[in-house]
C-alpha cells in the first residue's frame, strides 16, 4: 500500500498547560480535501501551523509521502516541506507586479518563471493581468493571484486557513470552486480550516469535526450530517429539535412516539434529536385519518403555531398534540396558516437518540 500524502499521528500541543491540540490523527491522499471544522479556539489553526512548520508540537508526528518531517524533537524547516499556504490575510507583495507575485517562489531564468506565472494567471482567469500592480485589482482578483502564487511551485500539500472569509458571498463561491478545481487537477492534498459548516460541506471529501483540541468525529459530509455522534455534533450543522424521552422497557417515550433505546435502563432520560429538514408534513390529509406511522418512521399530530418564509424554505413551528414544540423546514411553496392541523412524519434513521446532555 502506498503512503498517504499527509499523515498526522497523535499530534498534541499545549499552551500554558492547556491542550490546544489533543491527540489529533489524520491521513490525506493526493487530491483529497479534508476540512478541520469547529468553533473558534478548538485547535484548527494550531494543527495547520504545526503541519506548515511554523509552530512546534509537544508530541506526535507529521509525515509527508511517508517521510517524517517533524516529531517532538526534530523539525524540517517550512521551506523544505513543499507545502503551499493560503490564509485569510493573503497579502500580496505590494511593490511587485502580479506576475512577479505569482513567480515569487519559483527558481530559474526570468523568462521561464514569467511563462509559468502567465500560464497560472490564465488558469485563474487573469490572463493579461501580469503587468498590473496588486492595488489595481479587486479583492477577488487579488485572491486569485494569491491562489496562483500558492500553486506555482507545485506543492504536494496545500493548507487553507479560512482564505475565502474576506470575500463577499457571490465572489466566494466562484473562487472556492476554482481553487478546488486547480488543486484537484494537480493532485494536491488539501487541509483546510473553517468554522463554517456550509463551507466544509461544499468543499470537503472528509470533515474532521474538532472540539477542545480533539477530533470528535471524522467522515464524509453526508455521513457526518446524517449520523452525528452527539447532540453538539448534530447542532453544529443545523438547528435541531430536541425532545426528552424517558426509557421504559428499552423504549424512550416521547410526544413524537416511542424510540428504540436498547441498552438504557428504565427511567433513563434521553435526548431525541431531529433536524427540522428531516420532518415531513403530510399536506394531503390535514391531520385527518389514522396515524401514518409505518416501518419508515414516527408520526405525530400537531398544530401550526406560526410559519416563517425564508426564501428557499419555510420554517414552521408546531405544537404536538402530546405537548412538545417542534420546528419543520419545508420548501417555501408551503406556508401553512396558524392553527392548521397536520400529521408530521420523521424517518427513523433521521431521529437520533443520545444520552441526556446539558
Residues 272, 315: contact at Cβ < 8 Å? no
Q: For residue 53, what is the DSSP state?
A: T
Copy the grid coordinates of residue 355: 444520552
Q: Which is nearer to ligand ATP, 42 or 351 (CB)?
A: 42
| Residue spans of beta strands (DSSP E) within 115-268 | 157-161, 189-194, 206-211, 214-219, 241-248, 251-254, 257-260
Q: Which is nearer to ligand ATP, 56 or 308 (CB)?
A: 56
Q: Of the listed pieces 42-50, 250-258, 262-270, 289-297, which binds ligand ATP according to CB under 6 A? A: 42-50
Copy the grid coordinates of residue 272: 431525541
195 binds ligand ATP (CB under 6 A): yes
214 binds ligand ATP (CB under 6 A): no
From CA 352, how far away is CA 346, in angstroms rounded? 11
Copy the grid coordinates of residue 328: 419543520
Q: Which is nearer to ligand ATP, 38 or 228 (CB)?
A: 38
Q: CB of residue 214 vs ligand ATP: minimum separation in angstroms?
A: 12
From CA 21, how far away is CA 60, in angstroms rounded? 10
CB neighbour class for 15 (10 Å; exposed up to 12, middle 13-18, buried from 19): exposed
46 binds ligand ATP (CB under 6 A): yes
Q: Give the count of beta carbons closer than 10 Å to the beta carbon of residue 251.
A: 17
Copy the grid coordinates of residue 239: 438547528
85 binds ligand ATP (CB under 6 A): no
Q: CB of residue 133 vs ligand ATP: minimum separation in angstroms?
A: 31
In the set 3, 10, 15, 296, which binds ligand ATP (CB under 6 A)?
15
In the set 20, 252, 281, 330, which binds ligand ATP (CB under 6 A)?
20
Q: CB of residue 20 vs ligand ATP: minimum separation in angstroms?
A: 3
Residues 280-299 that bind ligand ATP (CB under 6 A): none
Q: Answer positive or negative: Cα dihedral of 118, 122, 127, 133.
A: negative
Q: Give the count of beta carbons closer than 10 Å to the beta carbon of residue 74.
A: 9
Q: Which is nearer to ligand ATP, 20 or 86 (CB)?
A: 20
Q: CB of residue 75 vs ligand ATP: minimum separation in angstroms?
A: 16
Q: CB of residue 85 vs ligand ATP: minimum separation in angstroms?
A: 14
Q: Footprint of ligand ATP on this chain (CB under 6 A)?
A: 15, 20, 38, 40-46, 195
Amino acid at each position: 500500500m502506498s503512503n498517504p500524502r499527509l499523515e498526522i499521528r497523535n499530534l498534541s500541543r499545549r499552551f500554558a498547560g492547556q491542550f490546544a491540540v489533543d491527540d489529533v490523527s489524520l491521513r490525506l491522499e493526493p487530491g483529497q480535501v479534508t476540512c478541520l471544522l469547529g468553533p473558534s479556539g478548538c485547535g484548527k489553526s494550531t494543527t495547520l501551523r504545526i503541519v506548515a512548520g511554523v509552530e512546534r508540537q509537544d508530541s506526535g508526528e507529521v509525515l509527508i509521502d511517508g517521510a517524517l518531517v517533524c516529531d517532538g524533537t526534530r523539525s524540517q524547516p517550512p521551506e523544505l516541506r513543499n507545502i503551499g499556504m493560503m490564509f485569510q490575510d493573503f497579502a500580496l507583495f505590494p511593490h511587485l507586479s502580479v506576475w512577479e507575485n505569482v513567480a515569487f517562489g519559483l527558481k530559474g531564468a526570468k523568462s521561464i518563471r514569467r511563462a509559468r506565472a502567465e500560464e497560472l494567471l490564465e488558469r485563474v482567469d487573469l490572463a493579461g493581468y501580469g503587468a498590473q500592480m496588486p492595488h489595481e485589482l479587486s479583492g477577488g482578483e487579488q485572491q486569485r493571484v494569491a491562489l496562483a502564487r500558492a500553486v506555482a511551485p507545485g506543492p504536494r500539500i496545500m493548507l487553507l486557513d479560512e482564505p475565502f472569509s474576506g470575500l463577499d458571498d457571490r465572489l466566494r463561491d466562484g473562487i472556492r470552486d476554482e481553487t478546488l478545481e486547480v488543486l484537484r487537477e494537480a493532485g494536491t492534498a488539501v487541509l483546510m480550516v473553517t468554522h463554517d459548516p456550509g463551507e466544509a460541506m461544499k468543499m470537503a471529501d472528509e470533515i474532521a469535526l474538532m472540539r477542545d483540541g480533539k477530533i470528535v468525529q471524522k467522515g464524509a459530509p453526508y455521513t457526518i450530517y446524517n449520523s452525528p455522534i452527539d447532540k453538539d455534533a448534530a447542532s453544529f450543522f443545523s438547528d435541531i429539535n430536541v425532545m426528552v424521552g424517558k426509557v421504559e422497557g428499552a423504549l424512550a417515550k416521547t410526544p413524537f412516539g416511542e424510540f428504540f433505546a436498547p441498552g438504557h435502563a428504565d427511567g433513563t432520560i434521553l435526548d431525541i434529536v431531529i433536524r427540522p429538514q428531516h420532518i415531513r408534513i403530510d399536506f394531503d390529509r390535514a391531520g385527518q385519518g389514522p396515524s401514518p406511522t409505518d416501518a419508515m418512521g414516527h408520526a405525530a399530530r400537531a398544530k401550526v403555531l406560526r410559519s416563517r418564509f425564508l426564501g428557499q424554505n419555510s420554517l414552521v413551528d408546531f405544537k404536538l398534540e402530546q405537548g412538545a414544540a417542534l420546528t419543520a423546514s419545508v420548501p417555501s411553496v408551503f406556508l401553512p396558516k396558524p392553527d392548521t392541523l397536520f400529521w408530521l412524519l420523521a424517518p427513523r434513521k433521521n431521529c437520533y437518540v443520545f444520552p441526556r446532555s446539558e
